[in-house]
C-alpha cells in the first residue's frame, strides 16, 4: 500500500481525532479542591477570653481592611507563635467563632437595677456616667484617711477591681494607676487558677 500525500493527511487527521475522542490523554489527573477559606482573609492576633490560660488565637475576617469593607469573622484558630498554646486550643477556644457569630451575643451595655428582675439596655454614655457617679458617691462615703492608730492610709476598701486574662500589660498599668489614685487596694485578676 502506497498512500498518497492526501490519503496520509486524511488518515493522520482521523486517527488523531479518534485518539483524542477515545481518550489517550497523557496529562496527569488533578482534582480541584475547596478554596482555602482563609487564603486572603485578614489575620488578627487576639487572646482567648475564656479561662486564665490566655491562649493566643488568630481571628480571620473577610476583606483586606479596605475602606469599603465591613469585616466579619470567618474563622478562628490557635496562634502557632503564641508561647502559651503554640497553635492549640481547647474545645471552648476552638468554638470561638460560634461565640462571636451568635445572635445571643450581648453587644451593648445592659443594667439590672436593684430589685429588678430583668436586664435593660443602657447607652454607653449613660453607663459610664452612672458608674462614675456611683464610684464618686461610694468613695466620698467610705474613704479612709486614717486608720485606728491614727496613721495616714488614704485607702478605699469598699471598691474592688478585677481584671481578665485578655488584659494587656499596658491596660493593666493604666488600671493600677487609676485604681491606686482612687485609693483602691483590692486589685484582683481572674488569671490565677
Partner 1 sequence: MSQATLRIQKMSGHAGPVPGEGTQRELQVCKLIDVTTCIGCKACEVACLEWNGLPYRETMFENTYQTMPDTAWNFWNVIKFNEYERPDGSLMWLMRKDQCMHCAEPGCLAACPADAAIVQYANGVVDFQQDHCIGCGYCISGCPFNIPKFNSATKKVFKCTLCSDRISEGLEPACIKACPSGCLHFGTKDDMKELAEKRAGQLRDHFGFANAGVYDPPGVGGTGVIYVLHDATNPEEYGGLPKNPTIPWVVKLWKGPVKWLGNLAIAGGIIAVTLHYLRYGAKTVKEDNRAEGGQP
Give residues in contact with partner 1 (CB under 8 A): 23, 25-37, 39, 75-78, 80, 85, 87-91, 93-95, 97-98
Report the distance separating Cα 22 and Cα 25, nearest Å.
9
Shorter beta-carbon distance to partner 1: residue 91 or 114: 91
Shorter beta-carbon distance to partner 1: residue 26 or 141: 26
Shorter beta-carbon distance to partner 1: residue 84 or 178: 84
To partner 1, the closest distance from the beta carbon of 164 in angstroms equals 20
C-alpha cell at 162: 478585677
To partner 1, the closest distance from the beta carbon of 165 in angstroms equals 16
Shorter beta-carbon distance to partner 1: residue 48 or 184: 48
| β 184-189/152-163 pair status | parallel
Report the distance separating Cα 118 and Cα 125, nearest Å.
21
The SS3 call for residue 18 is: helix
Shorter beta-carbon distance to partner 1: residue 97 or 167: 97
DSSP string, 105-164: ---S-EE--TT-SS-EE--HHHHHHHHHHHHHHHHHHH-EEE-TT--EEEEEEEEEEEE-
Report the distance separating Cα 159 and Cα 135, nearest Å.
8
C-alpha cell at 43: 489575620
Report the distance separating Cα 7 and Cα 180, nearest Å.
101
To partner 1, the closest distance from the beta carbon of 23 in angstroms equals 8
To partner 1, the closest distance from the beta carbon of 70 in angstroms equals 20
To partner 1, the closest distance from the beta carbon of 99 in angstroms equals 11
Amino acid at each position: 500500500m502506497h498512500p498518497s500525500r492526501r490519503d496520509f493527511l486524511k488518515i493522520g487527521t482521523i486517527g488523531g481525532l479518534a485518539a483524542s475522542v477515545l481518550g489517550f490523554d497523557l496529562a496527569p489527573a488533578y482534582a480541584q479542591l475547596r478554596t482555602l477559606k482563609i487564603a486572603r482573609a485578614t489575620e488578627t492576633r487576639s487572646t482567648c477570653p475564656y479561662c486564665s490560660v490566655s491562649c493566643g488565637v488568630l481571628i480571620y475576617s473577610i476583606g483586606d481592611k479596605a475602606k469599603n469593607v465591613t469585616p466579619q469573622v470567618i474563622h478562628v484558630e490557635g496562634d502557632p507563635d503564641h508561647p502559651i498554646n503554640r497553635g492549640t486550643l481547647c474545645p471552648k477556644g476552638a468554638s470561638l467563632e460560634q461565640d462571636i457569630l451568635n445572635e445571643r451575643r450581648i453587644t451593648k451595655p445592659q443594667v439590672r437595677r436593684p430589685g429588678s428582675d430583668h436586664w435593660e439596655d443602657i447607652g454607653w454614655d449613660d453607663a459610664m456616667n452612672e458608674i462614675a457617679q456611683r464610684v464618686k458617691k461610694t468613695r466620698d462615703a467610705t474613704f479612709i484617711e486614717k486608720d485606728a492608730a491614727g496613721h495616714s492610709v488614704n485607702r478605699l476598701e469598699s471598691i474592688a477591681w478585677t481584671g481578665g486574662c485578655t488584659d494587656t500589660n499596658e491596660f493593666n498599668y493604666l488600671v493600677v494607676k487609676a485604681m491606686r489614685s482612687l485609693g483602691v487596694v483590692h486589685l484582683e485578676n481572674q488569671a490565677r487558677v
